[in-house]
Amino acid sequence: MRLKINKEFPFPVYLQIKNSIKEQILTGILPPGFVLPPERKLADSNGVSRTTVIRAYDELKALGLVESYIGKGTVVTERREPDTSNKQSYVFPLSWYPLFDKKLGYVSDTITDIMNVGHQKDMISFAAGVGDPDLYPIKQLKAIQAERAYNSEALNLCAVEGYYPLRESLSKLMQFRSLSVSPKEVMILSGSMQGIDFTARTFLSPGDAVIVEEPTFLQAIQCFRAAGAKIIGIPLDDEGIRTDVLEAQLSRYKPKFIYTIPTFHNPTGIVMSMKRKMELLHLAYKYQVPVLEDDPYGEISFDQQERPPLKALDSYDYVIYLGTFSKVLFSGTRVGWVIGPEPVMKRFALLKQITDLHVNTPGQFMLDRYLREGFYEAHLKNELAVYKKKRDFMAAALRQNHGLIAFNVPDGGYYHWCRIPEQVSQKDLLSLCASKGMLFTPGTVFYPQESDGAHFLRLNYTYESFERITKGVAILIEALEKLNGQKTEDRVHRENRPIV
């Protein structure tokens, strides 16, 4: 078999051979069952190496055009002609689930269900991590829009790393958090959750270990689980992550990174002490493990105490820092930022490029003007005053629970983390409260092993009005009393049952 091969042509010879034979097969010159020449014979007749012919045959096999059989050689396969008849055939429904990546099968949709129910009219929601819509800075944003400041720059593509003026404004904002960075060290993200996703995609392969606080942010658990990671939970105490337990797990699992929320932890509201922060950094340096610091609530501080983030204390560039506007301004912004070591930032830029190119430019433009006009500080001051009142108001309502709810009042953030009696089923409580028109987030979703946290629940005090907080807490206490009474009666009944 003589083939047309041009060795001067800048196209690999094996692909020229493959394409030539492929054309002959598809046009019917080489019929099904035709035995192609042995590799060595075809190589000699065309003045090429046997390796080149083998590669060409392998390409044809990958296309399903030929098959190799021991004792017979390489044979052209049966070609199926397309059905040109007009006869309508039955099309079976496509079975999607076997096609899905199996890792997502381990991700719970509990929160999606809660969010969907929470948007129903008149449903009191203590479940979502959303601030008070009445505090959204609509007036200031309208004023910025009224200036007609938009131009082609604000509506055009921007750098993958983000709109540079906003990066400048963020570098100034971070100085108030004791963190000195240049604009070039800041990258804009579609919310801080994108930073969690990028970290998982950058560092984790199936089977890798990642360390988290226990409990922790539920979407982080889901993200790491979707990456196929082994999630190792480290318990918390009043000072934050238990570093004595952490060291043992670092040496045992050699994790890819540690995920932490040091300031107004979600869901517990705990603030990591300075002593514990330094111990955590010392262990990170000792075992050479990066730290992913998530800081969505750092500015929601009611006592105005200085709490520098881990990144500000990091002398060796081990910490990747995530910030967001979603909690301080409004949830729909979906604008966050990351500050990290140069090699990590380069990898994140590549991921941003192939994911969504960059955060929407008009949104970045608007937020930059908002910061430069000085609206941010006034908004934060007003917001903190309202949220502190709501925190105290819900705490006072919860104290009327006759010993059924235990909780500590946080110094900031969005949530009360509550413990309920062990004999009360969290699932039954959620169902009963939902039937009465109130939702909370069950504690189980904040644990890598969802069997844990069965006697905890998280209540958001920032979203609802004072009136609805009163009504919602009353529903919760009434449901707890009912379920606790039922369990008590069941226990007494069992204890009084005669022994036969």
DSSP track, 151-177: -HHHHS---TT--HHHHHHHHHHHHTT
Q: 170 lies in a domain?
A: yes
Structural domain boundaries, residue 410: 377-494
Q: pLDDT value at position 85?
A: 56
Question: pLDDT-based confidence at 151, cuts 50/70/90?
Answer: confident
261 and 333 in a single domain? The answer is yes
Phi-psi region of 344 (alpha: psi -120 to 50; beta: other; left: phi over 0): alpha
Sorted by sequence, the CB contacts under 8 Å of residue 18 that are 6+ apart come out as: 56, 59, 60
Q: How far apart are CA 314 and CA 333, in angstroms?
A: 29
Long-range contacts of 5-13 (CB under 8 A, 24+ apart): 5/46, 5/47, 5/48, 13/48, 13/52
Please identify, among 352, 372, 392, the residue that sits at the C-terminal boundary of a domain: 372
Please identify, among 331, 354, 372, the residue that sits at the C-terminal boundary of a domain: 372
Q: What is the mean pLDDT of residues 338-361?
A: 94
238 and 252 in a single domain? The answer is yes
Q: How far apart are CA 391 and CA 482, in angstroms?
A: 26
269 and 230 in a single domain? The answer is yes
pLDDT, mean over the chain: 89
Q: pLDDT value at position 304?
A: 80
Is the distance from CB of 268 to CB of 262 less than 8 angstroms?
no
pLDDT tens for each residue of 257-293: 999 999 999 999 999 999 999 999 999 999 999 999 9
Counted domains in the chain: 3
* pLDDT > 70: percent of the chain: 89
pLDDT tens for each residue of 216-230: 999 999 999 999 999
Is the distance from CB of 418 to CB of 459 less than 8 angstroms?
yes
Does pLDDT of 310 surpass 60? Answer: yes
Does pLDDT of 489 surpass 70? Answer: no
pLDDT tens for each residue of 53-71: 999 999 888 888 999 988 8
Q: 272 lies in a domain?
A: yes
Does pLDDT of 15 surpass 80? Answer: yes
Kindly compute the dihedral angle of the four CA atoms of residues 269, 273, 274, 279, in this order, to the nearest 10 degrees.
-110
355 and 393 in a single domain? The answer is no
Q: 51 lies in a domain?
A: yes
Residue with tokens 């196929």: 228
Provide the CATH number for the domain around residue 367. Answer: 3.40.640.10
Q: 197 lies in a domain?
A: yes
Token couple for 10: 């800048």
Give phi and psi for 373, each to the nearest 5: -80, -5
Q: pLDDT value at position 500?
A: 33
Token couple for 34: 């035709």
382 and 323 in a single domain? The answer is no
263 and 162 in a single domain? The answer is yes
| Angle, CA of 139, 145 and 150, to the nearest 5° | 160
Does pLDDT of 107 surpass 60? Answer: no
Q: 119 lies in a domain?
A: no
pLDDT tens for each residue of 296-308: 999 999 998 889 9
Token couple for 145: 């829009």
Q: 469 lies in a domain?
A: yes
Q: pLDDT value at position 166?
A: 97
272 and 323 in a single domain? The answer is yes
410 and 451 in a single domain? The answer is yes
Is the distance from CB of 166 to CB of 364 less than 8 angstroms?
yes
pLDDT tens for each residue of 371-430: 999 999 999 999 999 999 999 999 999 999 888 999 999 999 999 999 999 999 999 999
Maximal CA-CA distance, the chain: 98
Three-state SS for 81?
Answer: coil
Provide the CATH number for the domain around residue 39. Answer: 1.10.10.10
The residue among 418, 403, 404 whose CA lies nearest residue 461 is 418
Q: How far apart are CA 60 and CA 416, in angstroms?
A: 64
Question: pLDDT-based confidence at 496, cuts 50/70/90?
Answer: very low
Q: What is the mean pLDDT of residues 129-148?
A: 88
339 and 302 in a single domain? The answer is yes
CA distances, 24 to each of 13, 19, 42, 150, 155 (Å) = 17, 9, 15, 60, 52
Question: pLDDT-based confidence at 487, cuts 50/70/90?
Answer: low
Please identify, among 30, 57, 76, the residue that sits at the C-terminal boundary of a domain: 76
Q: What is the mean pLDDT of residues 455-481?
A: 97
Bridge partners (DSSP) of residue 189 are: 336
Higher pLDDT: 89 or 448? It is: 448
Q: How far apart are CA 498 and CA 500, in angstroms?
A: 6
Predicted structure pTM score: 0.78
pLDDT tens for each residue of 166-201: 999 999 999 999 999 999 999 999 999 999 999 999
212 and 237 in a single domain? The answer is yes
400 and 313 in a single domain? The answer is no
Q: pLDDT value at position 108?
A: 58
289 and 248 in a single domain? The answer is yes
Q: 285 lies in a domain?
A: yes
Q: pLDDT value at position 181?
A: 95
Q: 442 lies in a domain?
A: yes
Axis-axis angle for helices 39-46, 50-62 (nearest 10): 120
Q: pLDDT value at position 11?
A: 77
Question: pLDDT-based confidence at 89, cuts 50/70/90?
Answer: low
Q: What is the mean pLDDT of residues 474-478?
A: 97
